[in-house]
Structure 1
Amino acid sequence: MSTAPSATADDRRVECPSFDPNLLVTMWHIETQGSLSAAARALGWSQPAISQQVRKLERDCGCALLEREGRGVKLTAAGMILAKHGELIALRLAQAGKEFDEYRRRADTTLRLLAPPSICSTIVSKALAKLSVDSPIDVSLAQAEPPEAIEAVTQGTADCAMIFRYDSIPQYLVINDDELAFDDLGDDPLLLLMKSSFASAKRFREHGTPVRLRTFAPCNWIAGCPFCQTNLLSMAAREDFKPNITYCVDDYATTQNLVAIGENVSIVSRLASMAPLPANLTLCPIDDPYARRSVGIITRRGDARPAVRTLCDELRWAAGPLLEH
């Protein structure tokens, strides 16, 4: 005679219902409002919709959650348990909303700007000084050369960048027009820094004569960042010589000190050379149509945040008198 297998602990286990958090919040509103109609008004629902939610929750739980009481309702013990957790959910949602609003306010007024050293010390510093007085926008600034700055704006780790581009090497710096917008603000002329004792420096002082780079082919050359070195090589190639680059520095004060010794020369931008020039050094214009760099602003295309627009407006204002147009 066979017998049925005895029930195991797993067979006797009752699965807990999977609660919809929205329904628990509804129970909390019913508990605080005292009626289905009042809860419906508080939640922006109709009373039949609230009743339907309660019936669904009762089916899931397998027990009654409400009892009639006069013209309203009261929660059963089971209903009170769910309402308590609904209150916690509602409070956490409200807190999440407050924290996100605060984050969005900070995101709308806190920007990260990148720029190369020569533009940081001139255009950017002037713009940020005015912005600190006229606007609540908080701008963090870091130095970066154009290729790195473009990549940062593309990846979203920076909101805006000021860059320069050399017309002599347009293929060296590619801007993806589908993702980025470039606002050209004007040209920054390139000058040749040399000792005042050089014959070319004397001719410039006396006659305003621009210099040809090939005149300085025998000199030692001081180059800046890799981007600037590429431009130097391109300009020299058009003059049929290869410069002997002996120093690579991206600091104008250091460049001045190096030019002051030996037979050294360097191409510098007018923005970079706005610091006082020692009497033993001279800056000469270069007889080359490519002896300039275009300066502009990079932003993500479609970024219409008011803070970004305001920052760009201030950068344009600061750049106006410092660049050629």
Structure 2
Amino acid sequence: MTSVPPAPDGPSPLDPRRLLILRAVAQAGSISAGARALGWTQPAVSQHLQALERSARTPLVLRHSGGVTLTEAGRAAVVHADAIAAHLDAAAREVGELAALGAGTVRLAAFPSALAVLVPPALERLATATGVEVRLVEAEPPEAVELVRAGEVDVALTFGYAESPGVPADLEGLALGVDPVDVVLPAAHPAADRSALRLVDLADDDWVAGCVRCREHLVASAAAAGFVPRVRHETDDYVVVQQLVARGLAVAALPRTALEAYRHPDVTTRAVEGLDGRSLHAVHRAGVERVPAVAALLGALRRG
């Protein structure tokens, strides 16, 4: 059984370097393997672990013939060591990219219509003006925000409406403008050529609705116009939406980025008063905008 010498009363700070040593040992599975990974001697690593346990006032590893096993406190300490390692990695990237005058890699998550319409021009501007490399991940705003929080991407393109803003309180967002939302009608729809089309004029139609946020916005806008939309179909795919509309099976509301990405020849689009656009944002963790490569991407997106 591992024993830990008593320590004076009061909290003792945990040395972050020793937490990283504990992390290396945990990843390697034994003190000797951790020492090899660190390029240290086994006695030196053991001494640092013992010192860390004295500060923690509890065993962090249980030593046995097959290596080591983390205690519950040890597992908790390694979680914080992972965070320290992530912050150090971010620091190294920022310093390295500063030295490289803006060169580097940025990870960007974006929803499909943004990937089709907003992202390519921004990446083209970066390619001609900087050495920044962008790696893309397709993700709807809720998933993209979680990727930012987890540190798996640097920037996420999101959208939001008055009912559901696109920037969470714990993150920062760069406003990229408003993406207007139009109604999409079959070309032969009786209201297609109406000079002053109102949302309530479509109260008797079946509707195609998309994501939760888009559907909430449609329902709220219809309620303000005095009716409840009869949502017959649900899909996030703007190509499928237009295929359904083109065949006279429903009407829909789509943002113009989606209509720019794909436009079915047999639909008509109309701007309707009372159907507000969606706000677009580039969401990121606080401070990451100081990394030159990230700043270059945000600048390219803003100019778009």
Q: Do Structure 1 and Structure 2 share a fold, with TM-score over 0.5?
A: yes
Q: Which residue in the other structure is 2:155 paired with?
A: 160
Partner letter of residue 115 of structure 2?
Answer: C
* Equivalent residue pairs, number: 208
1:135 deviates by 2.1
Query: For the pair shown, which has the larger CA radius of gyration, 1 or 2?
Result: 1
Q: Does 1:246 align with 2:237?
A: no
2:112 maps to 1:117: yes
1:109-164 deviations in Å (ceiling 9; x for gaps): 12210111111111111111222232222211112222222222122121001111
Task: State percent identity of aligned pairs.
Answer: 34
In 1, the alpha carbon distance for the partners of 2:198 and 2:260 equals 22
CA contact (8 A) 2:207 2:232 kept: yes
Q: In structure 2, what is the Cα distance between the partners aligned to 1:241 and 1:263? A: 20
Alignment of 1:88-103 (within 5 A): none
Q: For 2:133, which of 129, 132, 138 is the aligned residue?
A: 138
Describe the shift of the 1:140–1:106 C-alpha distance in structure 2 as closer, same or farther (beyond 3 A).
Answer: farther
- Counterpart CA distance in 1 for 2:262 and 2:255 is 14
Contact 1:219-1:263 at 8 Å conserved across structures: no
Correspondence 1:223 to 2:218: no
Q: Secondary structure at the match of 1:156?
A: coil
Per the alignment, residue 296 of structure 1 pairs with: 281
CA RMSD of aligned residues (A): 2.4
Q: Does 1:305 align with 2:296?
A: no
Q: CA deviation at 1:262?
A: 2.9
Q: Secondary structure at the match of 1:187?
A: strand
The runs of 5 or more residues in structure 1 that have no matched partner are 1-99, 319-325
Alpha-carbon distance in 1 for matches of 2:187, 2:245: 10
Aligned to 1:196: 187
SS in 1 for 2:247: coil
The code of the aligned residue for 2:243 comes to N
Query: Corresponding residue for 1:92?
Result: none
Q: Report deviation, 1:279.
A: 4.2
1:175 maps to what in 2? Answer: 168
Offset from partner CA, 1:270-309 (integer Å, 9 cap, x none): 1110146444311000111x52111121111122100110
Q: Which amino acid aligns with 1:188?
A: D
> Does 103-112 or 255-264 show the bigger shift?
103-112
Give 2:248's match in structure 1, choosing from 252, 262, 286: 262
Corresponding letter in the other structure for 1:217: A
Alignment-mate amino acid for residue 190 of structure 1: V
Q: CA deviation at 1:243?
A: 1.8
Q: CA deviation at 1:260?
A: 1.1
Structure-2 change in CA distance of 1:173 and 1:305 (3 Å): closer
**SS of residue matched to 1:315:** helix
CA deviations 1:76-121 (Å, max 9, x no partner) are xxxxxxxxxxxxxxxxxxxxxxxx89x7458971221011111111
Partner of 2:175: 184
Q: Extract unaligned runs of 5+ from structure 2.
A: 1-88
Contact 1:183 1:298 in 2 (8 A): yes
Query: SS state of the match for residue 215, structure 1?
Result: helix
Rounded to whole Å, the distance in 1 between the matches of 2:142 and 2:189 is 35
